[in-house]
Amino acid sequence: MIGEKLQEHAGITESSSADYAVSGYHHVHKALASELPAVAALFFENGYYLETMTCIDERASAGDEKEKKDDAEDEQTAEDPGAFRLVYQFDKAGAPERHLITTRIASGESASSIAGVFAGADWYEREVFDLYGVLFAKHPDLRRILMPDDYIGHPLRKDFSDQDPRREEMASE
């Protein structure tokens, strides 16, 4: 049903089925960041809901991983090493059919907000912005949600440190 539509969709670059018994996901997809609102709309039209959304900071780790597994060619590390990965989880009520959508956002790039499709994405995107510093284009109200408004830095970034001298520099600016 939605599987075929997703495979035909231009925004989906890669699809595979996952081992639900272990991972909790039925399908895993990779999507283009710019096409996410369209992909989200497809899920919405087919009755799925947005279970959660978050971000993973893979900017530094991609380089480390490369050293670790030099024998196996990893696709992700071969791509752009410095990137955030946004994670969207869509599911259906009643009988679970969980889709995991991931998309890469290079450092300094902004993502497209899907708050216009799923109203619930509003707070999730604010949280990602707050904790990772990823900007969402066309978000209705992008401001910090958990940290104080005048806070400097994005705590869930892997290179974040409370003692980061840059924080003081930024504060004095």
Partner 1 sequence: MSDTIEIVAQDRDTYYLNMGPQHPSTHGVLRLVLHLDGERIIDADPIIGYGHRAHEKMAENRDYLQFLPNTSRIDYLSGMIYNLAYCQAIEKILAIEVPERAEYIRIIAGELNRISSHLLWLGTYLLDLGGITPFLYGFDDREKILDILDRVTGSRLTYSYGRFGGVTMDVDEVFLENTAEFIEYFEGRIPVFEELVIGNVIFQERTKGVGIFPSELIQHYALSGPSLRAMGIASDVRKDEPYSIYERFEFKVPTQQAGDCFARSLIRIEEMRQSLKIIAQALRDIPSGPVMAAKVPKRLRPPAGEYCFSVESARGRYQHFIVSDGSDVPFRHKLTTPSFVNVSTMSKVMAGNMLSDAVAILGSIDIVVPEIDR
**Contact footprint for partner 1 (CB under 8 A):** 22-25, 28, 44, 47-52, 54, 56-57, 61, 65, 87, 89, 91, 93-96, 98, 100, 102, 118-120, 122-123, 131, 144-148, 155-156, 158
C-beta of 24: minimal distance to partner 1 in Å?
3
Nearer to partner 1, 49 or 82 (CB): 49
C-beta of 168: minimal distance to partner 1 in Å?
20
Find all residues with CB under 8 Å of 62, minimum gap 6, and list them: 76, 77, 81, 82, 83
**Residue 34 carries which DSSP code?**
G
Nearer to partner 1, 13 or 23 (CB): 23
What does the alpha-carbon distance between residue 46 and residue 67 come to, in Å, rounded to a whole number? Answer: 42
Residue with tokens 């924080």: 167
C-beta of 75: minimal distance to partner 1 in Å?
13
User: Are 110 and 132 in contact, with CB atoms under 8 Å apart?
Assistant: no
For 78, half-sphere exposure in the C-beta direction (CA atoms, 13 angstrom radius) is: 5
C-beta of 92: minimal distance to partner 1 in Å?
10
